[in-house]
Structure 1
Amino acid sequence: MINKISKLTMKINCFRIQNFRRFKNILVDVESDISILVGANNSGKTSATHALDMFVNNQKDKFTIYDFNSSCWSIINDIGDDPNQSIIDDIELPQISLDLWFNIRETDLHRVLYLLPDLTWEGSIIGLRIVFQPKSSRETLVRFMESKAKVAKYVPKEKDKKYKPWPKNLIDFLSKHLSQEYEFRYYSLDQSKFDEQFNQKENYTPLLLQNDKSKPLVKSLLRVDTLHAQRYLSDQASNARSEDLSKCLSRFYKRNLEKREDDHDALSALFDSETQLNEHLKSVFNDMLERLGELGYPGVSNPHLVIKSALNPTTIMSQDTKVHYSMDGTSNGLTLPDNYNGLGFKNLIYMVVELLDLQAQWIDEKEDRALLQLIIIEEPEAHLHAQLQQVFIRQILNILKITDEDAYYYGMQLAVTTHSPHILYERGFKPVRYFRREGIAGTDQHSVALNLSTFYKDEPEKYFFERYMKMTHCDLFFADAAILVEGNVERILLPAMIEKSADNLTKAYLSILEVGGAYAYKFKSLIEFLGIPALVITDLDSVKQKTVDGSANMGDEDEDDEDVELEISDSAESGEIIKKYLIGKACLPDFENAITSNQTLVKWLPKKVLISDLLACNSENLIQNPTEASLSTVYITFQRMVEIIWGEEKHMVVGRTLEEAFGLENTEWCQSSEGKHVGLKLRTKPKSITELTEKIHKRVKSNSFNKTSFALGVLSSSSEEWIVPKYIEEGLKWLDRQVKVDIPIVPKEILEENIHSDMTSAEYESKKQSND
């Protein structure tokens, strides 16, 4: 099917990166206006933006051997270790590539003639491949062999001596001569030779572009600018790293000074009147200041920016302009210098000014101006508190909006890397691109990019997710693992329970979602999509069962009774009729034919309704293992049978909820005067375990029992006084085994055989600077 030519300005549709840092082969979809790149630490968000910057801006000299995906290192050394490889003409060393796919419109076809597959092309998507590849793999190998031969006589003959002269191997050689041995080459891509995911089909060879045409072509199509995260803005206390807002605006002025004949009149006026100078500065900055006003920073009493002169007429050209803050919103009233305002407000303005400056540089390129500017903003939350983060992301598209005739001919896209849930809250999840880590430590580590708009497109619970996540936790998209809990009590107690049961989890980034038993199962599709480990801590929630026709009623009538439909897992394949249950009042788990009202246990795992069946489940019944469709592994844990001692009596019991399980497994402490404050101490000492179980159940169920007070009471006690309920402890230990917080393993090809063999893993990662 032939695609229609786009009526919009040219946009990046997607890009694919191969063999660059964490990326073996990754496709990233790009939104037409703004894309939000998220993911756990070290997942590759920044690496993706670095690749765009380095390839598009022709920064060949910035590439190092560490920019190659770790899977390439052994290939490089294997080629170098075989002396016969240097005489093979078709030998090819690994290369790094970036595929860019653009949505193009008919009026811009003259700009991309060299990229068209043929003269009959009638599509809307064109492709460009930029490859960082050897000038000649064979000649590189020859030079490597020559260098190695020159130092062969210096190799110690004694086996106990580890010294090896340079080059020890081919990686060692390329670490020094990569920029001389590799170059950029450019290829046009035919979309018909790719599948729907832009994977190249077999037996297709892209067309190599002439070198003198390729670089100007790229420059005419796309400009990539980056606002980096490391912005050091503060007052004089930060010494050499400080840069005040006045200097930032001074640079903007110098770069964007109106180029008109009457500028000389304005400059002349500076010597006559400071008032005239201020008017001149106001005319230069007026548009920028009006755009800053669109930020809508919360609060009516926040100051407005005013640009005022601080120049000595005798040294006018060497002075900087100063920023003042107007206290009454006018340029003639009381003003204060910029270092008298809050750091967060200054940082917000600084970032916007820098972005406007990047846009102005692009606009000023009158000849061969790129059709599209991609601005990459790295972690805007670095120096902005929560409210300012939302202000920034809410208004930035309006502030950078292209106006007048330029809006028809030129386009702009933004890509934002972030760890801020506040930014996700403000923009929603459709522009989110989630970078997921895959593989194990070492050379098998890689990342993939997931498009959340694709997930939401076919997800029946998408509105629930969007509303719920906005109200609670957007940090799920940055987590190493997720823990879904019943309610407020579990959320309050979980950090302390983690410290007692699985201390290693404190080193991981966990997202704890309070979802309740009725809604945990709704997160199944999202957890599977993200592919992260998840622990679901839920309750047994035993209730009395009623039949469909109301006969043989095993519980009391209740106006709140509801229907529960269940397809039990072991009957789903055989096609048995779905069983229907009516829920009665809460009861002890050992009540005859008791069922669960917990929808997570019914609809997710283990898909059983009878309490007796649930208690008979083993760990295998409660684990959802990874599949080809999802890498996520899930463990659902709920109250289990435990042995307790009361007086001379031992008995296996099970609680219905967390509070009951805690009270039963911490019987002595909860029934002592020391544990009275948690609210589970009974007035009279029970005579048997059965009586104890019944009374704790009634206490927790009563209106007088305050669950939050119970949780806070446990927290206020020494952790040595109580134990974690067994079902939670088992779940946390399971999650601990899934989440590995290891120091990155440097392959032995790097550690043992080349010039960096004395580097630790941490030093290597710092040197490599490859994974955000």
Structure 2
Amino acid sequence: MQNQIVAKHKAMKIDFIEIKNFRKLQSCRIDFDREKTLLVGANNSGKTSAMIALRKFFLSPKSIDIRDISIQNWSGIDRIGADWEKRDNPQHNLNDFLPLLDVWLDVPLVKIHHVVHIIPSIDWSGGAIGVRLQFEVSDIDLLKADYLKKRLAAKKIEDEAPDEQKPSIEPKNLVEFLENSLSKYLTLKAYSLDPTQLVTPDNKGRACVQSLSEDALEIEGSPFKSLINIREIPAMRDFSSGSSASLDSDDVKPDRLIRTLSDHVRSYYDKHVEPTDEINGDDIRAFSALQLAEKAFDRRLKTGFSSVFEELTDLGIPGINNPNIVINTKFKSLDGLNHGSAVQYRVYEPEDGQEERYLPESCAGLGYQNLIAMAFLLMRFRQDWIEPKGGSEVDIKIAPLQLVMIEEPEAHLHAQVQQVFIKKAYDILRKHPDLGESSTYSTQLLVSTHSSHVAHEVDFANLRYFRRIPSEAQCHSPTSTIINLSNVFGKDLETMRFVKRYIKATDCDLFFADGAIFVEGQAERILVPHFIRHHFPNLWRRYISLIDLGGNNAPRFKPLIKALGLTSLVITDLDAGMKTQKKDGETRVVTRKAKPKVGCGQVTTNPTLTKWHPALTDIDALLSLKESEHQMHTENEYDLYIAYQKPVTDPTNKDSNIKLIPRTFEDALIYANFDALKDISGSSTTNKISALVRDKLLGDELEAELFEIIDKAEKAAFAIDCLVEIKDGSTLSPPPYIEAGLKWLEEKLEETTLLAMNSGAEGNG
């Protein structure tokens, strides 16, 4: 148990939320970072479900829909309807199947005046405060009566129909009845939770949501009103649609990038630059001299927006070779006093006496417009919160915490600016004299993404990985849990640093993949995708993360792969060695590289094979390992296959029983494509290999010559030559050990997909 009593910081924050019975999120916890939290995971893993859950619980509870209830709860709901029809008392309460959201705040005692209405007891002295938002049936008798009335009418039609034409009339069950009317019967209630009953999620990230006691205190009204200011940018892709939807409405609607950039600028101006209802001197002059008025109003706009454009420079705007953004007045007629403004782009800096040239915003790139528009939205969120307008200034209360949710910013931004945006977004939300490093008001940013560019710019500890859990029974659907990646490596700081730095040095697509392939060199990194494309079409359609570790570092990723539950293939080398004694003042046993041979007492020096799987050292045991023993299934956590070189037939004498044991990927590749390589040319390594193939050396002589070439080879150049010179890609075959590994990965992912489809996971993700 966790007893969170003492606040961790001076500022209030959302510590974590727990979600139950919402779509794929059957029972999970999302830990919130003090500043920014990034939700990552593969397709259909539940990231969007989490954002929608927050939206529906916090902003639009009336939009709750039957599809928001976890699919595996539907059969229980239908049983209640069936019991009503049989006039039996249901065994379960319908409320037990409905979604709930627990919000846990970390609040210092000095902020008690903000949370006095939700503190768990009079003994509270700062720290954890939990509030449950629970959907409940407002009138169960009304729901029962309405359902039975509809079912009676449906059955009447069915019974009166001819036997050979029996129709199926809706609703056939309670779920079908609620499909278009769920929100009519539900209400959202809030309850106070007990911090002493908190339990840590299990090792797969499944939350242990506490049971609500019968005497739980119901909180009247909205528990988070005037406590948390919530703003949202959903993943809408219709920025330039010209929709007239208002962003200034009091209705709880998401802020979308659906208008022109000029509209966003105007909205910001109206609230936070220099709004006035009075007719000023500029207006009077406008009626007599329009151009003079434009210049005067331009000065007014440029002065008001000067600080805004200073913030935009932090985002790299305008950037190299991009036009400068400017604000110019735009009078459509003289029949009104409502100044119009338009975003335009200055093409170049004019010389003395030259006229300035501008282009309309529609001429700029969409990604460029979107970046500026999103920056304006974030500035608006900040200003609307910290400098609210309207009503009596005395009556305005500023919420101590603002939560800003952004769903898939990459839907709006090109890859080049995604990294810039995520680095600067939080800074924009805090760039105000009353914010900054102050603990008076807190800001938390929650972002869901499927972009490795975005994930790359966020600290490892800020990532929350949505892990897909296969269905545990045929009648159940797959679910998702959330893994806090800051906890994955425990106290193994060295391994954690290596993995974090490696991922930062390459990319973060591992967090969005259906499966992972680990390789050890550049040649494998170049050719494995080629093998997949031409020999494994089903695998080619998958989202596979290919990771080149440049050595035997795969075991370092074991804790991460285990936490992610990611199906993984490791392509490694046999690395045969012979133990010998070395004398240097004292006798030591060392392992020297050796040509692989059976029956010579050789050992492997590869830590993947000795420390991860199959956890063997003896070369004879590794070479005789059965195909089924190359794979492992760990406590329903992850599936793994280790592929390494095995004996192959001598390509110069295929009718003999002579077996060659490849030492590296390159010689295994040559043995598998012996005839196809005789005519290729390119790098010095490629030319030597081509000449060797034409010489048709046999057995030991071939192995010895090949070892000399490969040991000093330009391996990447040879791999590229294979791609370029062999015209028909399908004629370049993968070595047998790699073919076996790719076949296993393809079948394993296909099996997972079929399981998900048969359980209906696609409809409730």
The aligned residue for residue 155 of structure 1 is 158
Structure 1 residues 14 and 268, CA, compared in 2 at 3 Å: closer, same or farther? farther
Encode CA deviations 1:454-482: one digit per residue, 9 max, x unaligned: 22553331211121111112100101110
1:296 paired residue number: 316
> 1:604 — aligned with what?
612
Which residue in the other structure is 1:711 paired with?
719
The CA distance in 2 between the partners of 1:475 and 1:677, in whole Å, is 36
* Distance of 2:537 and 2:585 partners within structure 1: 51
User: Which residue is equivalent to 1:570?
Assistant: none
SS at match of 1:400: helix
Letter in 1 for 2:233: L
**Partners of 2:17 and 2:459 in 1: how far apart?**
22
Unaligned runs of 5+ in 2: 202-206, 243-256, 390-394
Q: Secondary structure at the match of 2:461?
A: coil
Contact (CA 8 Å) 1:678, 1:713: kept in 2 or not?
no
Q: Is the 8 A contact 1:114 1:188 kept in 2?
A: no
Identity of aligned residues (%): 31
Tell me how far 1:594 sits from its aligned partner: 3.3
Residue 380 of structure 2 aligns with an amino acid whose one-letter code is D
How far residue 166 of structure 1 moved from its aligned partner, in angstroms, is 2.2
* 1:72 counterpart residue number: 73
> Which of 224, 227, 236 is the aligned partner of 1:221?
227
The CA distance in 2 between the partners of 1:728 and 1:465, in whole Å, is 25
Matching of residues 562-577 of structure 1 within 5 Å: none
Structure 1 residues 143, 514: closer, same or farther in 2, change over 3 A? same
Task: Report the TM-score, using the length of structure 1 for normalisation.
Answer: 0.85
Q: Indicate the SS of the match to 2:646.
A: coil
Residue 340 of structure 1: how far off its partner (Å) = 3.8
Q: Contact 2:470–2:479 (CA<8 Å) still a contact in 1?
A: yes
Work out the CA distance in 2 between the residues paired with 1:139 and 1:678: 85
Task: Give the equivalent residue in structure 2 for 1:45.
Answer: 47
Residue 270 and residue 129 in structure 1: after superposition, are their counterparts in 2 closer, same or farther (change >3 A)?
Answer: farther
**Structure 1 pair 306–736 and aligned structure 2 pair: CA distance change class (3 A):** same
For residue 124 of structure 1, report the CA deviation from its aligned partner. 1.0
Aligned-residue Cα RMSD (Å) equals: 3.3
Equivalent residue, structure 1, for 2:668: 661
Structure 2 counterpart of 1:253, from 254, 259, 269: 269
Report the counterpart of residue 638 of structure 2 in structure 1.
632
Distance 1:319 1:48, change over 3 A: same
Question: What is the CA–CA distance in structure 2 between the aligned matches of 1:552 and 1:496, rounded to whole Å?
Answer: 50
Partners of 1:206 and 1:224 lie apart in 2 by 30
Q: Which amino acid aligns with 2:190?
A: Y
Tell me how far apart the structure 2 counterparts of residues 258 and 104 of structure 1 sit (CA, whole Å).
Answer: 36
Q: Which residue of 2 aligns with 1:104?
A: 107
Change (3 A) 1:745 1:601: closer
Cα distance, 1:77–1:158 mapped onto 2, change above 3 Å: farther
Match for residue 734 of structure 1? Answer: 744
1:692 aligns with 702
Amino acid at match of 1:207: A
Q: In 2, distance between residues paired with 1:673 and 1:92?
A: 73
Q: Does 1:471 align with 2:474?
A: no
The corresponding residue for 1:566 is none
Per the alignment, residue 444 of structure 2 pairs with 413
The range that moved more, 332-341 or 146-155, is 332-341
In the alignment, does 2:419 pair up with 1:399?
Answer: no
SS of residue in 1 equivalent to 2:111: helix
Bigger mean CA deviation after superposition, 634-643 or 435-444: 435-444
Alignment partner, residue 170 of structure 1? 174
CA distance in 2, matches of 1:132, 1:293: 45
SS in 2 for 1:115: coil
Secondary structure of 2:657 counterpart: strand
Listed as ranges, the matches of 1:101-500 within 5 Å are 101-156=104-159, 161=165, 163-197=167-201, 199-201=208-210, 204-205=213-214, 207-210=216-219, 213-215=220-222, 217-233=223-239, 243-256=259-272, 258-259=274-275, 264=280, 267-268=283-284, 270-271=286-287, 273-297=293-317, 299=319, 302-312=322-332, 314-317=334-337, 320-326=340-346, 335-363=358-386, 364=388, 367-401=396-430, 403-405=432-434, 407-440=438-471, 443-456=476-489, 458-460=491-493, 461-500=495-534
Distance 2:502 2:90 in 1: 60
Partner residue, 1:541 = 575
CA contact (8 A) 1:473 1:513 kept: no
Kindly indicate whether the alpha-carbon contact (under 8 Å) linking 2:108 and 2:126 is maintained by their aligned counterparts in 1. no
With over 3 angstroms needed to count, the CA separation of the structure-2 counterparts of 1:86 and 1:270, relative to structure 1, is farther
Q: CA deviation at 1:656?
A: 0.6
Do the aligned partners of residues 268 and 454 (structure 1) sit closer, same or farther apart at CA in structure 2, a change above 3 Å counting?
Answer: farther
Aligned partners of 2:46 and 2:117: how far apart in 1? 32
Q: What's 2:254 paired with?
A: none
Cα deviations across residues 398-428 of structure 1 (Å, max 9, x unaligned)?
2111533465542221111112222222222
Q: 1:256 to 1:592 in 2, by over 3 A?
A: same
Shift in alpha-carbon separation, 1:206–1:454, aligned structure 2, 3 A = farther
| Cα distance between partner residues in 2 of 1:277 and 1:104 | 46
Retained in 2: the 8 A contact 1:12–1:102? yes
**Deviation at 1:442?**
7.3
1:529 Cα deviation from its structure 2 partner: 1.5
* More divergent stretch after superposition (723-732 vs 304-313): 304-313
What is the distance in 2 between the residues matched to 1:84 and 1:420?
50
Closer, same or farther: CA 99–330 of 1 in aligned 2, 3 Å: farther
Which residue does 2:677 correspond to in 1?
Answer: 670
Q: What per-residue deviation string (whole Å, max 9, x for no partner) do you get for residues 147-203 of structure 1?
A: 211232200555654622222111111112212111111111121122245734568
What code does the residue aligned with 2:172 have? K
The 8 Å contact of residues 133 and 182 in structure 1, kept in 2 or not, is answered as: yes
| Contact 1:56/1:223, CA 8 A, preserved across alignment | no
CA separation of 1:139 and 1:492: change in aligned 2, threshold 3 A: same
| Residues 555-576 of structure 1: per-residue CA shift (max 9 Å, x gap) | xxxxxxxxxxxxxxxxxxxxxx
Q: Is the 8 A contact 2:680 2:690 kept in 1?
A: no
CA distance in 2 between partners of 1:515 and 1:171 (Å): 50
More deviation, 128-137/580-589 = 580-589
Q: Could you say which residue in structure 2 is the equivalent of 1:556?
A: none
The residue that corresponds to 1:571 in the other structure is: none
**Cα distance change on mapping 1:602 and 1:382 into 2, 3 Å:** same
Deviation of 1:743 (Å) = 7.1
2:53 is equivalent to residue 28 of structure 1: no
Aligned residues: 716
Amino acid in structure 1 at the alignment position of 2:753:
D
Which secondary structure does the structure 1 equivalent of 2:659 belong to?
Answer: strand
Secondary structure, in 3 states, of the residue corresponding to 1:43? coil
Match of 1:757 in 2: none
Residue 329 of structure 1: how far off its partner (Å): 7.9
Give how far 1:485 is off: 0.5
Deviation at residue 598 of structure 1 after TM alignment: 2.2
* Residues 667-725 of structure 1: CA deviation (Å, up to 9, x unaligned): 33334679986934417634533333333233322x3x332232123223123434321
Residues 506 and 445 of structure 1: CA distance in aligned 2, closer, same or farther (over 3 Å): same
What secondary structure, in the 3-state scheme, does the structure 2 residue paired with 1:179 have? helix
Check the 8 A contact 1:294/1:399 in 2, yes or no: no
CA-to-aligned-CA distance 1:54-86 (integer Å, 9 cap, x gap): 1111x2331111111011111111221224675
Please tell me whether the aligned partners of residues 72 and 477 of structure 2 are also in contact (alpha carbons under 8 angstroms). Answer: yes
1:545 & 1:41 partners in 2: Cα distance? 48
